[in-house]
Structure 1
Amino acid sequence: MTGTEPETTGPETVDPEAEFQQLCAELLRNTRLRRHRAAVQAMVEERSVLSVPAVQRALIVDSRKGRAARFEGLSGLQYGLGLDEQQRAFLHLVLSMVGIGITTLASVEDLDDHRLPIILRGILRLAGNEDLAVGRRL
């Protein structure tokens, strides 16, 4: 190789943030049922659970329209995904939005200040109510 030949570069590096945002947009676009959409939106907002590769492998399927969430794939795998207790409690509540599992509403006491409002907004979406606001009291 001479000094005048252009250097060849490998494949362009993919921005993980842009890739994650694209995944989230695709999952939301390919979700039709209100309860599944509420669950996907909660997973997108919370982010840490959906970012786990094992969760992605169990949750995401390829469809004719692109990647979609299939929550049945997570059923029974919740303890083998490498999630911490907070993430697992959140996932149990999200799965209950789509009718999987028997998680009591009392398990919200296991959520932190970041995940609790996400679940509350998810419950409102599930009910078809976008009018009520969820936030901190002043």
Structure 2
Amino acid sequence: MTATEAETTAPEAPDAEAEFQRLGKQLLRTVKSTPHRAAIQALIEEQTILSAPAVRHALVVDTGRGATARFDGLLGRQFALGLDEQQRSFLGLVLSMVGIGMTTIAAVQDLDDRRLPIILRAILRLAGNDDIAVGRRL
């Protein structure tokens, strides 16, 4: 067997995007409350925060039924997760939706054009409103 053959027969590394999507579906499947569902959905949409290994380690707990999110694992750890300022602001807003932390709504000033609509949609989910659309003005 040549080196080239060995390389082609080696098992492929799991696709990071597919693994992320699998985790997101699992977390949504195990969530029990509307605030937690809105928070998980926001983290899935934002993607960069939930992709960080330190965040996964603090947030995701493996149970007998599969992975589930425990937001209290993030309590007091926002500055130790290796996130940038926008990510910390976004995470603070998400945590406030589940009753953790003291982030004010003014933190939306720190969000970029990609993260702001995600938080707005999460707030609408939290309120149980499916009628208002979030998007760009023409």
Same fold (TM over 0.5): yes
Q: How does 1:86-125 map to 2 (within 5 A)?
A: 86-125=86-125
In 1, the alpha carbon distance for the partners of 2:118 and 2:6 equals 48
The match for 1:52 is 52
Map 1:1-138 to 2 at 5 A: 9-138=9-138
Structure 2 unaligned regions, length at least 5: none
What is the deviation of 1:16? 1.1
Structure 1 CA distance for aligned equivalents of residues 109 and 50 of structure 2: 21
Q: Secondary structure at the match of 1:24?
A: helix
Larger Rg: 1
What is the CA–CA distance in structure 2 between the aligned matches of 1:60 and 1:120, rounded to whole Å? 24
| 1:41-81 Cα deviation digits (max 9, x unpaired) | 00000000000000000000012221011000001110000
Identity rate of aligned residues, in percent? 64
Q: What amino acid does structure 2 have at the position aligned with 1:119?
A: I
How many aligned residue pairs are there? 135
SS where residue 129 of structure 1 aligns?
coil
SS in 1 for 2:101: coil
Higher helix share: 2
Shift of 1:7: 5.6
Task: Give the structure-2-normalised TM-score.
Answer: 0.92
RMSD of aligned alpha carbons: 1.6
Quick check: 124-133 or 35-44, which moved more? 124-133
Give the aligned residue type for 1:86. Q
Q: Tell me: CA distance 1:107–1:7, structure 2 relative to 1, closer, same or farther (3 Å).
A: closer
Q: TM-score, normalised by structure 1?
A: 0.92
SS at match of 1:131: coil
